[in-house]
Amino acid sequence: MKQEKRPFNKLIPIPFQQVIINDLFWSNWQDINRRVAILHQYEQLEKAHHINNFRIAAKLKKGRHKGEFYYDSDIYKWLEAAFYILQQNKDDELKSKVDEVVTLILKSQLNDGYINTFYSTNFIERRFTNTTFMHELYCAGYLIEAAIAHYNATGSKKLLDAAEKFMNLIYTIFMGEKKVNPPGHQEIELALMSLYRLTNNKKYFLLAEDFINRRGKDANSKRYILSQFLNLNSTQKQAKEMALKDGESNEIEDFYANLSFNERIKFYYAILNGTCYQLNIPVRKIRDPTGHAVRAMYMFCGMADLYADNGDEDLLDALIRSWSKITEGKMYITAGIGSVNGIEGFEKDFKLRIKNSYSETCAAVGFLMWNWRMLQITAQAKYADLIEKILYNSLLVGQSLDGKKYSYTNPLISNGDYDRQEWYLCPCCPPNLARTIASLGQYIYSKSENALFIHQYIGSTLNFEINEVPIEIHQQSEFPWQGKVKLKIFLGNNLTFKIFLRIPRWSKKTRIEINGELLKDDLIPNRYIEINRNWKDKDEVTMIFEMIPNILDGDPRVKDIKHMVSISNGPLIYCLEQNDNKNFDITHIQIQENIPLTVIYKDNLLGGINVIEGKIVSGEKFVAIPYYTWNNRGTDKMLIWSQKA
């Protein structure tokens, strides 16, 4: 079994297993992920009953499922992250934990292949009656991804065989019996495509394609969606009643508790007309992305995977339109998406709320995944540029620096009443972050015929082949604090091939040297520069990207930031936190567009960061810190956008 080339992609992804990260910045995040976050998440999964649900389903304990109906997915994401870590590090404690969880999953599988602790421990007769809201297929998709990670980490097919048995059941039910209801949360489509590429079993491709094609059909009518919504409420009510009958309580999330009356009206309307879950229109006709942002990202990932294998240009056209719409009018400056509470999704163009900004961490993960696929399809630098912005801003802010606290949403302004939590009743984000950080190496490099593309400047060692010739690349990066990068190439014999280097959008001046001699300077940003030469052993490429702080004007089309400014430096978006600016209230300051800014590295602050200093209109000094570092010193006021003088 092996991953096959996607025939309609311009690039071939290089998996993280071929990349060893040894970076001044990112190695620390991976280390915390391995030493702290993954074990801390396991403890939380135990406390919140996730693992016990599988013990009950495996008939090792008595009882019923507790918690949300999608809790299985959090276990699978955690497993996937753990297997990624174990592929790169020996860890007996972590291995014993994942072995136990895998055994529980295998023992919980029913004879026909079904795995879902919510239904199998409560009311198996209701399974597959509500795929719009109840997340069975969503959980199944994450099971596939965990199973593939398990296979790649261990060589064992036990979990993969279990996942395939479950998928064969789903195929029989949804293709053989011709059920018409589409998945309500689009995770299974991209997972099925991964399973197809690994096994070359065409039925998984056909099932993914069928699920994608179901959207916008007659089955998505308001009457159908209403019946599914009522089914959701009755199922949850029954689960609570059964728990009470057993003498237990079952905490179920109230999706509507914090919504205003107007927000509830919008939420119900988006549910019933299908826009919330992207049920309202066939995917090839999408012109304006709507609804739940995470669902949309996963759907676009599935569509991109489908295009990579079948070359359906209508799918690609819809993806390109959607990407342009989101990046031009539905994306925060941090690359965060999904600005509307309630539906956790998209508003109309340029309706980006700042005071009630949303920007879910899982949406950042999904946006990263989709941009990665678009990059492989097109080889266009704009996708790699956006990946960089996501990584350093909307994604990293979702976890505290010590690896023990998380944020579900990531506001652009805080009055001092917002804090990260160790866990959530809906804990989708922590394991999603863990699997992303653990597999970071996959986002750095790609190949094409006789060429290497370098997308991200992250210190690392890459081993790969061109025309069956082994090549080793050592990358040294000073990102995100300085703009200097060095590549050293190790070859057995001289070899002619191309290297494509990304020139970041923020670098207005770029200098490239080879073995100390100038190759080019003043290169156009947001492009790849091609270097085609006969490379010799130990050749060195040096890149110096101009990294200077900038005052950015708010987009006049966005009402909330029309007369405001923010600060950036290289890939980082900066914010003001009250803790660093005690002489004035940061929410009432004005900043001029043309003020001088000073960058100072402080190794004893927030893990070592560049702070940016300048002066507000009153003449007092302000200090700005990278957005991802805020909220690590207790609750505090924070803002990204300040009033323009």
Q: What is the pLDDT of residue 262?
A: 79
Confidence tier at 254 by pLDDT (50, 70, 90): low
The one-letter code for the residue type at 424 is Y
Structure tokens at 566: 């923010």
| pLDDT one-digit tens code per residue, 185-228 | 999 999 999 999 999 999 999 999 999 999 987 656 788 888 88
User: What pLDDT band is residue 239 in, cutting at 50, 70 and 90?
Assistant: confident
- On whether the CB atoms of residues 631 and 407 are closer than 8 A, the answer is yes
Task: Name the token pair of 104.
Answer: 């529980």
**Region 422-434 average pLDDT:** 96
In this predicted model, what pLDDT tens digit does every residue of 438-474 receive, in sequence order? 999 999 999 999 999 999 999 999 999 998 999 999 9
Q: Is the pLDDT of residue 3 over 60?
A: no
* pLDDT for 242 beyond 70: yes
Q: Are 640 and 551 in contact (CB under 8 A)?
A: no
What is the pLDDT at residue 250? 65
Better-scored residue on pLDDT, 98 or 241: 98
175-183: average pLDDT: 78
With a CB cutoff of 8 Å and minimum separation 6, the contacts of 240 are 250, 252
Distance CA 591, CA 615 (A): 7
Distance of CA 516 to the CA centre of its chain: 38
The contacts of residue 146 (CB under 8 Å, 6+ apart) are 76, 77, 79, 80, 83, 159, 163
For 58-108, give the DSSP string.
Answer: TTSS-S---S-TTHHHHHHHHHHHHHHHHHHS--HHHHHHHHHHHHHHHHH
- 441 Cβ neighbours under 8 A, 6+ residues apart: 15, 16, 17, 18, 19, 20, 21, 460
Provide the token pair at 585. 């209230």
> In sequence order, which residues have a C-beta less than 8 Å from that of residue 103 and are 6 or more positions away?
none
Q: Would you say 41 and 434 are in contact if contact means Cβ atoms under 8 Å apart?
A: yes
Tally of CB atoms within 10 A around 516: 7
Predicted pLDDT at 275: 92
- Whether the upstream peptide bond of residue 480 has omega within 30° of 0, thus cis, is yes
Residue in the structure block whose two tokens are 């070859």: 491
> Contact, 326 vs 394, CB < 8 A?
no
Please list the residues that pair with 477 across neighbouring strands.
485
Kindly tell me if the per-residue pLDDT of 559 is higher than 90.
yes
Rounded to an integer, the average pLDDT of 148-177 is 95
Return the sign of the alpha-carbon dihedral for residues 74, 80, 81, 83. positive
Q: Which residue has the higher pLDDT, 217 or 287?
A: 287
Distance of CA 467 to the CA centre of its chain: 33
pLDDT tens per residue across span 9-43: 999 999 999 999 999 999 999 999 999 999 999 99
For position 245, what pLDDT does the model report? 77
**If pLDDT is split at 50, 70 and 90, which confidence band does 528 have?**
very high
SS3 520: strand
Q: What's the whole-number mean pLDDT along residues 70-83? A: 98
Examine the pLDDT at 95 and tell me if it is beyond 50: yes
**Quick check: 289 and 346 in contact, CB under 8 A?**
yes
Asked whether the predicted pLDDT for residue 482 surpasses 80, the reply is yes
d(CA 366, CA 395): 10
Start-end of H helices in 393-540: 429-438
One-letter amino acid of 466: I
Render 421-458 in DSSP notation, one character per residue.
BS--SS--HHHHHHHHHHTGGGGTEEEETTEEEE-S--
State percent of the chain over pLDDT 70.
97
Contact by Cβ (8 Å): 521, 503: no
β 621-626/451-454 pair status: unpaired
For range 337-350, the mean pLDDT: 93
Does the pLDDT value for residue 513 go beyond 90?
Answer: yes
Q: What is the residue-wise DSSP string for 589-625?
A: -EE-TT---EEEEETTSTTSEEEEEEE-TTS-EEEEE
Reported as type and span, the H/E element at residue 149 is helix 136-154
* Tokens linked to 38: 């993954």
- Provide Rg for the chain, Cα atoms: 25
Q: What single letter denotes the amino acid at residue 327?
A: T
Write the DSSP symbol of residue 402.
Answer: T
- DSSP result, 330-341: SB-TTS-B--BT
For 469, the token pair is 């010739």
* Mean pLDDT along residues 312-338: 98
Q: Is 63 exposed, middle or buried (0-12, 13-18, 19+ CB in 10 A)?
A: middle
CA distance 607 to 574: 16
With 90 as the cut, is the pLDDT of residue 356 above it? no
- Bridge partners (DSSP) listed for residue 503: 527
Strands 495-503 and 451-454: parallel
DSSP characters for 210-272? HHHHHTTSGGGSHHHHHHHHHHHHHHHHHHHHHHHHTT-------TTTT--HHHHHHHHHHHH
Per-chain mean pLDDT for the chain: 94
Predicted confidence (pLDDT) at residue 1 exceeds the cutoff of 50: no
Q: In this predicted structure, what is the pLDDT of residue 475? A: 98
Q: Rounded to whole angstroms, how far apart are CA atoms 292 and 300?
A: 12
Residue 271 is predicted with a pLDDT of 87
The domains found in the chain, sorted by start residue, are: 12-442 (1.50.10.10), 444-479+483-545 (2.60.40.1180), 549-644 (no CATH)
